Structure 1
């Protein structure tokens, strides 16, 4: 299977799972997905791949669906719950970084095989995590603000507008901050710019793709919600 087919399939699957987790577990499912996707995308982002002839990092699908989760929290449960999801993700990302650095500090046994692999992945995690935390806070708090800015002007109509108007700008902030902090000096300038451009392009594609899933989530609700109605 080509990278392109795999990436599109993965994006559709991940966005579907956001709706499924909300359907099964309500806002708790969205909180759990935010935490899970944030941790995993900071590992996946270390891998660069070719997609549609462009160089980009993995992790953009998982990270883009975090915006869907926070938009769902804002749309269905209110601005306070969306902010709570953002801060929960930030807190867990900090803890994951600290915990893995503590794990690496332990002296392994002579026959241990995991340490070099863990160091290869998590040894660079502090810089990746710092970039991710800075980009995450700025972009997600902007996304929550912008989403409700547009909602205050559109009411319950034009969900597609507030979803995309907030997310597309937020993704631009996120990609710019993350790539500069994470990869400045790691890649040559032209490669860094290509990664920044392609990262934003692919995240934007997923952001546009997630709009039907937001409508679907609002329509199907949750198991708990239907049971209590």
Structure 2
């Protein structure tokens, strides 16, 4: 079995060549963009319960965030979070720009009472306030998640992974929810509705993390074996405003 080296020195870590870090970064960016652009556009109803469809996939970004922090350390997870933030911002800006430019009359045909431009706007023309709230909440929530995950790993000496994954998600999703729902909907929805949706979606997101814990364990263990390292952030600078890895 491949030896797993415990690394808590930034210089030694910078010399290590990772096999799957780039793929984890791409996967995180894809999930954040899709959940923000596609998932945010639909309210689903299953068994009489209404919820934002994006909640079914967005928590996967926190699972990947846990994996990234556990395997590659806070600094590299922070770099991925910034990449996801930039990706979501670009995707939202691109969607807004393409929605705003005038459509070609030949393309803008009638679709049984709604024209193509209106249909396109319904899918991609997001309200700027909601986009801003979403992007800021994702960045802050993911950063909080990675910070708690890394700190708990040091405190626990790398034991009890499930406590770190669930605990960090509770904090990260809490920060995300406290920022997104009031910033996006306060003054538009009634205060009671904002609070109810915020609490319900928060609980569902955390439950998702709990349910996916066995998968997180398998992915983390497999990646540690493949990369040959187990990173401890004992000498890491924990500022979120850096791209250094």
1:211 correspondence with 2:213: yes
**If each structure's helix is expressed as a fraction of its own residues, which one has the higher value?**
1
Q: TM-score, normalised by structure 2?
A: 0.75
The total of aligned residue pairs comes to 202
When residues 121 and 182 of structure 1 are mapped into structure 2, their CA distance, relative to the original with a 3 A threshold, is farther
CA distance in 2, matches of 1:125, 1:37: 20
Shift of residue 183 of structure 1? 2.3
1:31 correspondence with 2:33: no
Shift of residue 222 of structure 1? 8.2
Superposed counterparts of 1:170-209, under 5 Å? 170-209=172-211
Q: Please give the secondary structure, in 1, of the residue aligned with 2:57.
A: helix
CA distance in 2, matches of 1:152, 1:52: 43
When residues 161 and 87 of structure 1 are mapped into structure 2, their CA distance, relative to the original with a 3 A threshold, is same
CA contact (8 A) 1:97 1:125 kept: no
Q: Please give the secondary structure, in 2, of the residue aligned with 1:111.
A: coil
Shift of residue 85 of structure 1? 0.9
When residues 84 and 178 of structure 1 are mapped into structure 2, their CA distance, relative to the original with a 3 A threshold, is same
Q: TM-score, normalised by structure 1?
A: 0.80
Q: Please give the secondary structure, in 1, of the residue aligned with 2:106.
A: coil
Q: Where does structure 1 lack aligned partners over 5 or more consecutive residues? A: 1-24
Q: Please give the secondary structure, in 1, of the residue aligned with 2:158.
A: coil
With CA pairs under 8 Å and 6+ residues apart, which has the higher RCO, 1 or 2? 2
Shift of residue 225 of structure 1? 4.7
Shift of residue 58 of structure 1? 1.2
Q: Please give the secondary structure, in 1, of the residue aligned with 2:50.
A: strand
Find the counterpart in structure 2 of residue 11 from structure 1.
Answer: none
Bigger radius of gyration among the two? 2
Q: Please give the secondary structure, in 1, of the residue aligned with 2:221.
A: helix
2:50 to 40, 44, 55: 55
Find the counterpart in structure 1 of residue 9 from structure 2.
Answer: none
